[in-house]
Amino acid sequence: MPVRRAKRSARTHTARTGTARPAFTGGINIALKLAPHRFDATLAFYRDVLGLPVLKNSPTHAVIEHGPNRLHLDRVEHQTHAEVWLEVTTPDAPAAARALARAGVPRRDTPGARVEPLPPGFRGFWIENPAGVVTLVAEPGQ
């Protein structure tokens, strides 16, 4: 007989400790941080070889329609290898920050660990997962 699992609330999940945890959803943005010598060939691959639509294109940044996602190609000076950066959304960024801090998740938008500045008033922040992948945590629509 299959085991029935309790449904989780779309807003929070309560752990055994009784502490409410904000809900997280995978965001639509994925970024590839590319070495300058890889940028043009990578853009050509997605645009010309795969035929995916280019939504934005400049000498240092391109946005590719990647199914329901947006693949951002970023030319980064002094980058030696490609990095993948992800996004997750949450309805309450301050509550998410507190929950992630309790879980020991390192922030990447603090002095000395900053990866990329966020605009003033942005309701979100950068973290790093255990594999070292930079992830933007943001409220939807940012």
Tens of pLDDT along 83-139?
999 999 999 999 999 999 999 999 999 888 888 999 999 999 999 999 999 999 999
- Mean pLDDT for the stretch of residues 57-85: 96
Q: Which amino acid is at 23?
A: A
Is the pTM higher than 0.85? The answer reads: no
Reported as type and span, the H/E element at residue 113 is: none
Q: Which amino acid is at 15?
A: A
Q: Distance between CA atoms of 90 and 127, rounded to whole angstroms?
A: 13
Q: Which amino acid is at 82?
A: A
- State residue 99's pLDDT score: 95
Q: Distance between CA atoms of 82 and 57, rounded to whole angstroms?
A: 19
